[in-house]
């Protein structure tokens, strides 16, 4: 019988300390032997966002326990794993270094290969944990730090079609929640309170909607939310209306830009039966799922969403990316360094900052 590959994954790129033990099953998807995530929400709540030094300290305090728990729950000993995958970037350097260094130590101690995983590749391949998906597919990656359309051609092979030129989508949700005093974490709270509001109440802008292909922009929308939020003061119903209008505008932007991305994907790949994968923390949003499924149905595409527990940061997706890279012999040396910036498509133009031409 063919040996099933098993990996320990470690994730500390932002505010979740996570470890998981994942094994490839005979159907080419994953058996989740353990998936442990410790969220630092309570630590950062009072600051309304992630404070890097606090995050790093919390990782240091928890990581040992989280890895031990993941190994114990999996009932697998270090001897039985095939390798260690730890997130090496992009993210907060002070946080990444903690998980990566522990990963290096475990790999060296257990004499196993080490893979430094790109966190974005973890999100990109995450739907494969549940179902085998053939390459290529179109990926909309929407998280706290990134918003991108990519063609996923294979493991380690990505072509960027579009990206945000300013804020990431998760960041726009988090800032909106902060401006409206809806608490932290922002995204889930905006979704929750939007249900109580009138989504047509405020007319908000859709920046660069008719230009720059499937590139996106949210800064102007954020400024408009700030302007309106100052007018409504303590009126709760108006707050909910603004949250709902913001979310509705996001859905309108995503609908139009994803439509463009699907056309671009078809043209570049000559494939008509498009598979659209929506991954990353914001992909947990139900209204976004419904909106993109509607578009996808209209365009005769198939949408694939990872389970909500694999949308937000987790180590299962890191171990899974590790397994996929291991099978292609994409191993790393023990001196691999953490990187704060690490695009999946290194050849894509950098789309932020002054002088940007759209």
List C-alpha distances in Å: 250 to 40, 147, 163, 197, 282: 27, 12, 15, 15, 11
Site for Zn ion contains 314 (CB under 5 A): no
Least CB distance to Zn ion at residue 24 (A): 22
6/158 with CB nearer ligand KG4: 158
Q: 157 — phi, psi (to 5°)?
A: -130, 105
Interface residue with Zn ion among 40, 143, 303, 314 (CB under 5 A) is 143
Least CB distance to ligand KG4 at residue 58 (A): 15
**Dist. CA 330–CA 207, nearest whole Å:** 40
Q: Which of residues 167-196 bind ligand KG4 (CB under 6 A)?
A: 170, 173-174, 185-188, 191
313/332 with CB nearer Zn ion: 313
Using the contact rule CB under 6 A, the part of the chain among 23-31, 128-136, 195-203, 275-283 near ligand KG4 is 275-283
Asked if 202 contacts 228 with a C-beta cutoff of 8 angstroms, the reply is yes
Structure tokens at 135: 């390459």
- Residue 122 contact partner, candidates ligand KG4, Zn ion, none, CB within 5 to 8 A by sort of partner: none
Which residue carries 């359309």 as its tokens? 149
Q: Which residues is 39 bridged to in the sheet?
A: 16
Site for ligand KG4 contains 164 (CB under 6 A): no
Q: Which residues is 149 bridged to in the sheet?
A: 140, 162
Interface residue with ligand KG4 among 280, 306, 322, 343 (CB under 6 A) is 280
Query: Smallest Cα–Cα separation from 7: which of 89, 110, 155, 101?
Result: 110
- Residue 103 contact partner, candidates Zn ion, ligand KG4, none, CB within 5 to 8 A by sort of partner: none
Site for ligand KG4 contains 282 (CB under 6 A): yes
Least CB distance to ligand KG4 at residue 78 (A): 28
Asked if 326 contacts 337 with a C-beta cutoff of 8 angstroms, the reply is no
- Residue 17 contact partner, candidates ligand KG4, Zn ion, none, CB within 5 to 8 A by sort of partner: none
Q: 245 — phi, psi (to 5°)?
A: -70, -40
> Cα 214–159–153 angle (5° rounding)?
125
List C-alpha distances in Å: 231 to 179, 240, 324, 351: 12, 14, 51, 33
Least CB distance to ligand KG4 at residue 39 (A): 9
Least CB distance to ligand KG4 at residue 252 (A): 15
Interface residue with ligand KG4 among 285, 291, 296, 303 (CB under 6 A) is 285
For Zn ion, the binding residues (CB under 5 A) are: 143, 313
């Amino acid at each position: 019988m063919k040996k099933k590959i098993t990996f320990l994954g470690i994730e500390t790129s932002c505010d979740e300390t996570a470890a998981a033990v994942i094994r490839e099953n005979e159907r080419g998807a994953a058996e989740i032997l353990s998936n442990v995530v410790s969220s630092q929400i309570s630590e950062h709540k009072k600051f309304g966002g992630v404070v890097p030094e606090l995050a790093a300290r919390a990782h240091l305090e928890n990581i040992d326990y989280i890895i031990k728990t993941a190994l114990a729950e999996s009932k697998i000993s270090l001897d039985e794993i095939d390798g260690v995958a730890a997130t090496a970037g992009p993210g907060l350097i002070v946080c990444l270094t903690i998980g990566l260094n522990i990963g290096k130590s475990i790999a060296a101690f257990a004499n196993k290969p080490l893979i430094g995983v790109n966190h974005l590749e973890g999100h990109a391949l995450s739907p494969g944990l549940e179902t085998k998906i053939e390459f290529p597919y179109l990926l909309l990656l929407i998280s706290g730090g990134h918003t991108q359309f990519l063609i996923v051609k294979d493991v380690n092979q990505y072509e960027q079609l579009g990206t945000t030129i300013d804020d990431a989508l998760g960041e726009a949700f988090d800032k909106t929640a902060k401006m409206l005093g809806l608490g932290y974490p922002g995204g889930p709270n905006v979704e929750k309170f939007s249900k109580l509001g009138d989504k047509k109440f405020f007319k908000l802008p859709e920046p660069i909607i008719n230009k720059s292909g499937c590139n996106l922009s949210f800064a102007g929308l954020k400024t408009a939310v700030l302007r309106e939020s100052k007018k409504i003061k303590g009126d709760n119903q108006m707050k909910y209306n603004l949250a709902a209008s913001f979310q509705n505008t996001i859905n309108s932007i995503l609908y139009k830009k994803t439509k463009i991305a699907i056309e671009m994907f078809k043209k570049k790949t000559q494939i008509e039966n498009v598979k659209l994968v929506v991954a990353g923390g914001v992909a947990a949003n139900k209204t976004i799922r419904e909106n993109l499924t509607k578009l996808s149905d209209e365009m005769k595409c198939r949408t694939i969403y990872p389970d909500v527990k694999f949308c937000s940061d987790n180590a299962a997706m890191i171990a899974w990316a590790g397994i996929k890279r291991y099978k292609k012999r994409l191993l790393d040396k023990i001196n691999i360094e953490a990187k704060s910036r690490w695009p999946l498509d290194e050849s894509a133009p950098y789309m932020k900052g002054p002088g940007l031409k759209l």
